[in-house]
Amino acid sequence: MKLKSTLLSLVLTLAFTMPIDAAQYTVPEGQPPVPGADASIPDNAYQNYRYDTALNANASTIILARKKIYEMLDKQVQENKRSVENAERWKKSHDTYWDISSHESTVILIHEGEHQAKMTVPIVVTSGMYRISNNKEEISSFVFESSALAEFISSNKRLADDPHFKSAKQKGSFNYPGITKGYWAITDKYSDKNTPFMLVVVTFDKQPNHDYGVALGNINHPITKNLENTMANFVIPSIQPLDNLDQMSEAVTWGNVTYRLPKGLQLKSETNNGSNLQGRVYVGPGMQLVVTRGPATSKDNPMLAYPKRVMNNLIHKPSKLLLQNVPIQSAMVLNNGVPTYLLDQYNAGKQSRIFHLIQDDEHDYFMLLTYKDGNTKYNHLELRNMMEYLDFKNAKELRSKTEIKIKK
């Protein structure tokens, strides 16, 4: 579990909460309780990308961005470049989008060879980094924003033997459903820098010879400010093996992208309007999946381009795709380091939708799953897990567009 010291300059200080015992955790005799664990928080809190009302983004950044947009629109009205009605409509659209994006989470999936797991962290990210060791025994997927850093590690080695674990003054072990062994550590210095982190290592019951680790740190971040609470109640419960996707779905490759098709869906129709638009429609009991692709509309960093697509194509323009009066939760999803963007409109017992926006070097893809909750073979979380999973033939090239450049 090696973090380059240059990464650590992104993170300065952390505040830690007092430990609280939680029912879902057990600890061996003589071990301290898991810091931050709170039995009043449901162990499936991570399943809602926008759990609770707290922001996953920096509030001051949102306030400044809102102020700048409002001032620009008001100035255009004064200069007769825009009507009052049009300006107000744009303000409303921006407010809707900021509400969605400021509560989004980040889902990290690693699925290469023996490395098969995922985790969710409640931060909004703007860049990433992906590293594979020369012998392919260890993979690290990093995500960043201006005030937070998270790393997901998959390794054939025992990560708890890492020197940073052994040297930590605060550390302990735990058990959790599905986890045979779990270890946590808090370090206030890393590579001789005043950079505290919380580190966690887990071994799954189903993967006894493989370790997965998480490192989490922040600077004045609304959610990860209470780092231990976030790790114990949101991140650790979200760490899961990817062991049942083949039982529920089939891998379908279309050009550069491989997506998951829930078993029971059948191809109903295809559309081919040349390079402008191509589409596939799958149908099955209680659900329909539409997959379309067209020319890439942006060469920008996808992590920055996705918000524009959501804003322009789903929020501001009148759209029948979004369900009315159904909350929207969103997540940046990274499959082997390649970012995509998922929107989830879960409506318990009623019609629900999951959207997935995908961008590679040639195409914009759009996936839309519509289903009647309770009337399908799979539940909401199983369907979303299938929708999250993607693979790309040229993942390395796509990662290079969003990876942070580190000076050696």
Please say if the pLDDT value at position 225 is more than 70.
no
Report the alpha-carbon distance of residue 82 to residue 359 in Å, rounded. 32
**101, 341 Cβ separation under 8 angstroms:** no
Higher-scoring residue by pLDDT: 248, 12? 248
Work out whether strand 105-112 and strand 329-335 pair parallel, antiparallel, or are unpaired: parallel
- Going by pLDDT thresholds of 50, 70 and 90, the confidence category of residue 7 is very low
- Going by pLDDT thresholds of 50, 70 and 90, the confidence category of residue 12 is very low
| pLDDT of the residue at 299 | 82
pLDDT in tens, 46-99: 999 987 776 676 677 778 888 999 999 999 999 999 999 999 999 888 888 888
For 286, other C-beta atoms within 10 Å of its C-beta total 16
| pLDDT of the residue at 31 | 93
- 11 to each of 21, 59, 291, 387, how far by Cα in Å? 28, 18, 39, 32
Whose CA is closest to 230, among 164, 190, 184, 181?
Answer: 184
Report the alpha-carbon distance of residue 217 to residue 219 in Å, rounded. 7
Higher-scoring residue by pLDDT: 317, 183? 183
Q: Is 251 helix (H, G, I), strand (E, B) or coil?
A: strand
| pLDDT of the residue at 102 | 83
Report the alpha-carbon distance of residue 310 to residue 317 in Å, rounded. 10
**pLDDT exceeding 90 applies to what percent of the chain?**
59
Domains in the chain with CATH codes: 5-52+103-241 (no CATH), 59-101 (no CATH), 245-399 (3.40.1000.10)
What the block records as the tokens of 203 is 């071994």
DSSP line for 99-158: HHHTT-EEEEEEEETTEEEEEEES---SEEEEEE-TTSSEEEEEEEETTEEEEEEEESS-
- Going by pLDDT thresholds of 50, 70 and 90, the confidence category of residue 21 is very low
**114, 387 Cβ separation under 8 angstroms:** no
For 115, other C-beta atoms within 10 Å of its C-beta total 23
**284, 249 Cβ separation under 8 angstroms:** no
| pLDDT of the residue at 189 | 58
Q: Is 300 helix (H, G, I), strand (E, B) or coil?
A: coil
- Which H or E run contains 229? helix 227-230
Q: Share the mean pLDDT of the chain.
A: 86
pLDDT in tens, 149-189: 899 999 999 999 888 788 888 899 999 999 999 999 987 75
What stretches of 250-349 show up as alpha helix (H) in DSSP? 302-309
